[in-house]
């Protein structure tokens, strides 16, 4: 099988494409999680909305868990002339936007479950392909800074989305239309900016066993990869607390339903301000000092402290303070985590598949937390829920100590993840087609 010579996108265009793609993704996925699903289910299910929310988000996250690695593997093997990453960024964004539109007209919980699963499946094609571009085309020495910029989108996207939907009637179909348009636009702009090539495979049997090979990398053979996966899972569980902010405000502080949207927007604004600063600073500091683990430890500890504050918050001002702390920790974590995960990938040529397996650690908390939340809320309300998530944040901070630091991937005396064929710069040159 032959393919055109590989091409690369200039770093400026590549970063812009990643920013708009990831922003569109987070608008399409996180704005519903933070607000719109709560409003929709409250309208449909009434007093049972919290339980219905757990069912909807739990099943959606399970679908994301399945589709993210499959999408990554399919992206690696795509031979369409449009490009292996561009194809799925555009397809995922446009098809996901259609599913969001349909969600605005649902009248029963089962419809919400079905369509939310479709949203998760489709947008994960976009997400897997976007993340793979970091391994494909970003030079190794620039990944911390680039990851820091990309990390901002997890807060900037939802903030802009929340501000947009608050301009429409609460719970209306127009809110869903607005975020669907933004999500679609992000995908379109990204593919216009990107240069990409089809997959080139010399072995025609490479596509066999795609499903089985999409889900597994042995942690015994690649322990650094396994530890990085665990770190992302544990700390992402801690930050998954934000999906319960709307219910938390409604139930603990008796915030009126008509005001909960604006309150969530205020909390998101605080998060963005703190996240942007910490993300950029942490990303570039990490590149400068060539260390990553201290920033992850900091993120896990700060998340735990903020969650303890939320667990016992006596008033909304304390909630605002804790949310600001979560923003600082989130920024530091997402600035470094992606760069760290790319650094310990086991394979040069299967970056989409490998990163998609890492991304299971993003999707799984969205399933685990909603499934365990009803039990924890029944045991000890939000004190038990946030306390449990704080423990997971601390465990994540401890687990990162087992991941090799920058430059230690090849140290046979302490190596925990083999890197195939190339050193850090050479690997970036091979993947990104950047002269070594």
What mean pLDDT do residues 179-194 have?
Answer: 94
pLDDT digits (tens, 9 = 90+) for 192-248: 998 887 877 554 444 445 555 555 566 677 788 888 889 889 998 888 777 777 788
* pLDDT tens sequence across 104-114: 889 999 999 99
Instruction: Choose among 58, 49, 52: nearest CA to 368.
Output: 58
Is pLDDT at 301 greater than 90 in this prediction?
yes
Report the C-alpha gap between 267 and 270 in whole angstroms. Answer: 5
> How many separate helices (H) and strands (E) can be counted in the chain?
16, 0
Which residues have a Cβ under 8 Å from the Cβ of 219 and sit 6 or more positions away?
Answer: 225, 226, 227, 229
**What's the pLDDT band for 353 if we cut at 50, 70, 90?**
low
Mean pLDDT of the region 305-325: 92
Q: What are the chain's domains? A: 11-199+219-420 (1.20.1250.20)
**What does the H/E/C string look like for 360-390?**
HHHHHHHHHHHHHHHHHHHHHHHHHHHHHHH
Is the pLDDT confidence value at 423 over 50? Answer: no
pLDDT interval class at 375 (50, 70, 90): confident
Mean pLDDT of the chain: 80
Under DSSP, is residue 57 helix (H, G, I), strand (E, B) or coil?
helix
| Nearest by Cα to 327 from 381, 377, 373, 282 | 282
C-alpha to C-alpha distance for 121 and 370, rounded to whole angstroms? 18
- 164 vs 196 pLDDT, higher one: 164
**The total number of residues written for the chain in this structure:** 436
Query: Average pLDDT for residues 343-369, to the nearest whole number?
Result: 72
The pLDDT of 82-91, averaged and rounded, is 90
Count CA atoms closer than 13 A to 329's CA, side-chain side: 27
Report the range of poorest mean pLDDT among 52-56, 327-331, 423-427: 423-427
424 contacts 140 by C-beta, under 8 angstroms: yes
Of 272, 50, 259, the residue nearest 161 (C-alpha): 272
Query: Which distant-in-sequence residues (6+ apart) come within 8 Å of 95 by Cβ?
Result: 122
């Amino acid at each position: 099988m032959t393919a055109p010579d590989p091409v690369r996108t200039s770093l400026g265009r590549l970063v812009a494409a990643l920013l708009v793609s990831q922003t569109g993704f987070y608008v399409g996925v996180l704005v519903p999680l933070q607000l719109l699903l709560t409003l929709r289910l409250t309208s449909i299910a009434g007093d049972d909305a919290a339980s219905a929310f757990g069912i909807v988000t739990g099943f959606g996250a399970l679908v994301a868990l399945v589709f993210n690695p499959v999408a990554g593997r399919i992206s690696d093997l795509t031979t369409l002339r449009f490009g292996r990453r561009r194809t799925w960024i555009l397809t995922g964004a446009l098809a996901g936007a259609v599913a969001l539109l349909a969600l605005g007209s649902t009248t029963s919980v089962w419809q919400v479950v079905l369509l939310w699963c479709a949203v998760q499946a489709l947008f994960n094609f976009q997400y897997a392909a976007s993340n793979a571009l970091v391994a494909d085309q970003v030079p190794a020495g620039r990944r911390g800074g680039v990851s820091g910029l990309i990390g901002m989108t997890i807060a900037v996207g939802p903030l802009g989305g929340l501000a947009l939907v608050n301009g429409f009637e609460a719970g209306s179909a127009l809110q869903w239309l607005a975020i669907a348009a933004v999500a679609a636009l992000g995908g379109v702009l990204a593919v216009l900016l990107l240069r990409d090539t089809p997959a080139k495979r010399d072995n025609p049997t490479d596509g066999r066993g795609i499903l089985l090979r999409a889900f597994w990398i042995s942690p015994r053979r690649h322990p650094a990869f396994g530890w990085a996966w665990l770190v992302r899972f544990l700390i992402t569980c801690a930050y998954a607390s934000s999906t319960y902010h709307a219910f938390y405000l409604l139930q603990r502080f008796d915030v009126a339903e008509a005001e909960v949207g604006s309150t969530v927007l205020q909390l998101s604004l605080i998060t963005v301000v703190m996240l942007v600063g910490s993300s950029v600073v942490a990303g570039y500091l990490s590149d400068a000092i060539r260390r990553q683990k201290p920033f992850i430890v900091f993120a896990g500890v700060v998340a735990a402290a903020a969650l303890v504050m939320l667990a016992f918050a006596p008033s909304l001002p304390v909630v605002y303070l804790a949310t600001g702390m979560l923003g600082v920790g989130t920024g530091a974590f997402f600035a470094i985590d992606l760069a760290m995960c790319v650094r310990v990938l086991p394979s040069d040529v299967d970056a989409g598949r490998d990163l998609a397996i890492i991304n299971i650690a993003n999707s799984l908390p969205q399933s685990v937390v909603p499934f365990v939340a009803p039990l924890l809320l029944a045991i000890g309300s939000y004190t038990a829920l946030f306390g449990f998530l704080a423990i997971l944040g601390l465990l994540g901070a401890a687990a990162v100590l087992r991941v090799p630091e920058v430059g230690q991937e090849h140290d046979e005396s302490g190596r925990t993840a083999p890197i195939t064929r190339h050193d850090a710069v050479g690997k970036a040159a091979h993947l990104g087609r950047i002269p070594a």
